[in-house]
Amino acid sequence: MERKVYVNGKLFPESEAKISVFDHGFLYGDGVFEGIRAYNGLIFRLTEHLNRLYESAHTILLKIPMTRKQLEQSIVKTLQANRQKDAYIRLVVSRGVGDLGLDPNKCKVATVVIITNSITLYPEKLYVDGLKIITVPTVRNIPEALNPQLKTLNYLNNILAKIEAKNSGFAEALMLNHQGYVAECTGDNIFMVKKGTVITPPVYVGALPGITRGAIIDIIQEPDLVETASLPKKFEERLLTRHDLYNAGEVFLTGTAAEVIPVVEIDGRTIGEGKPGPVTRQLIKGFHELTRKDGVRYAM
CATH 2.40.50.140 fits 4-118, yes or no: no
Whether residue 231 has pLDDT greater than 90? no
Q: Residue 242: which pLDDT band, with cuts at 50, 70 and 90?
A: very high
Coil vs helix vs strand at 112: strand
Return the CATH number of the domain spanning residue range 124-290.
3.20.10.10
Long-range contacts of 161-165 (CB under 8 A, 24+ apart): 161/136, 161/186, 162/186, 162/187, 164/136, 164/137, 164/138, 165/133, 165/134, 165/136
- As annotated, the residues of the chain forming the CATH 3.30.470.10 domain(s) are 4-118
164 pLDDT above the threshold of 90: yes
**For 129-142, what is each residue's pLDDT tens digit?**
999 999 999 999 99
**pLDDT band of 229, cuts 50, 70, 90:** low
Position 108 pLDDT exceeds 90:
yes
Q: Which residues are catalytic?
A: 151
As annotated, the residues of the chain forming the CATH 3.20.10.10 domain(s) are 124-290
Report pTM.
Answer: 0.96
Mean pLDDT of all residues in 74-79: 98
Asked whether residue 75 carries a pLDDT value surpassing 70, the answer given is: yes
Task: State the Cα–Cα distance between residues 65 and 198, nearest whole angstrom.
Answer: 40
CA distance 268 to 154: 31
pLDDT grade for 50, boundaries at 50, 70 and 90: very high
pLDDT, averaged across the chain = 96
**C-alpha span between 27 and 263 (Å, rounded):** 36
pLDDT tens track for 192-207: 999 999 999 999 999 9
